[in-house]
């Protein structure tokens, strides 16, 4: 597909389109060995060879993955303790991927991974208030006033943390299960809120982000998001 040279350079991660224009007009960009110094040129990202200051530049294929993360796996790519990484659950021939936000090592469930920084920001920045649904199991019972506290806000480390919605509260053996919808995306938010009302979390699973839910994915399994799913998440 033909795209403007400055757009190609920006998508390859060299900087803003404006900055990439200055790279072109400054004579640092060549296409198929020929310097291009005027704006307006178009390139085919699949065919043309683009270099900046002699270094080849390419646009990575964008990848969007949904994974059902098992407990015990970390979201970072390096771990001094040598624990298993969610990246180890994926094929090795994929481009370098990053998790969209994080789940704690002991949290299970829906995790998105991508190499598209704009997509990731769209889903994680608090400004967009992306809804995320969790199922938690806590020890013992849960009183109505504890549920009200979760809805009205629980202070933790100087932040007031709120659940937008609580539903599906039911006893399961010695535990109580509940589902929470959060839109704030604060670090370790569910555990901090439940700790804050005196509940001990025994299990935490993320069920959905926006319109994407775990569906039939088994623990440790993954699949690519469809184009439609990617679009619906961004449009949310």
Interface with ligand URA (CB under 6 A):
103-104, 107, 188-191, 204
Closest listed residue to residue 225, CA positions, set 117, 72, 119, 69:
119
Catalytic-labelled residue, pool 44, 104, 144, 145: 104
Closest listed residue to residue 107, CA positions, set 184, 205, 218, 190:
205
Active site residue 116: no
Q: Provide the β-strand partners of residue 201.
A: 138
Complex with ligand URA: residue 31 or 113, whichever CB lies closer: 113
Find the shortest distance in angstroms from Cβ 16 to ligand URA: 32
Complex with ligand URA: residue 103 or 230, whichever CB lies closer: 103
Find the shortest distance in angstroms from Cβ 171 to ligand URA: 22
Complex with ligand URA: residue 50 or 65, whichever CB lies closer: 65
Strands, sheet with 55-57, edge to edge from the N-terminal-most edge strand: 34-35, 29-31, 50-52, 55-57
Give exposure, 16-45, as e/b (b: 16+ Cβ within 10 Å). Answer: eeeebbebbeeebbbbeeeebeeeebebeb
Return d(Cα 136, Cα 176) in angstroms, integer: 8
Complex with ligand URA: residue 23 or 142, whichever CB lies closer: 142
Find the shortest distance in angstroms from Cβ 147 to ligand URA: 17
Find the shortest distance in angstroms from Cβ 46 to ligand URA: 39
Catalytic residues, which ones? Answer: 104
């Amino acid at each position: 597909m033909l795209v403007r040279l400055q757009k190609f350079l920006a998508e390859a991660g060299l900087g803003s389109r404006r900055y990439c224009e200055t790279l072109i007009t400054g004579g640092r960009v060549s296409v198929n060995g020929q310097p291009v110094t005027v704006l307006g040129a178009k390139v085919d990202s699949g065919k043309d060879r683009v270099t900046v200051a002699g270094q080849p530049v390419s646009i990575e294929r964008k990848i969007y993955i949904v994974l059902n993360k098992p407990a015990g796996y970390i979201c970072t790519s390096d771990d001094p303790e040598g624990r298993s990484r969610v990246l180890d659950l994926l094929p090795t021939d994929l481009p370098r991927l990053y998790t969209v936000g994080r789940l704690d090592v002991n949290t299970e469930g829906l995790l998105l991974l991508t190499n598209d920084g704009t997509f990731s920001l769209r889903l994680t920045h608090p400004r967009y208030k992306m809804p995320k649904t969790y199922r938690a199991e806590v020890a013992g019972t849960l009183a109505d006033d504890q549920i009200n506290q979760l809805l009205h806000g629980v202070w933790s480390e100087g932040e007031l943390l709120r659940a937008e919605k609580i539903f599906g509260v039911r006893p399961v053996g010695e535990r109580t299960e509940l589902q929470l919808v959060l839109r704030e995306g604060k670090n370790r938010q569910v555990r901090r809120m439940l700790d804050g009302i005196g509940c001990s979390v025994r299990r935490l699973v993320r069920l959905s982000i926006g319109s994407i839910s775990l569906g039939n994915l088994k623990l440790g399994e993954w699949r690519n998001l469809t184009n439609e799913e990617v679009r619906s998440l961004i449009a949310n």
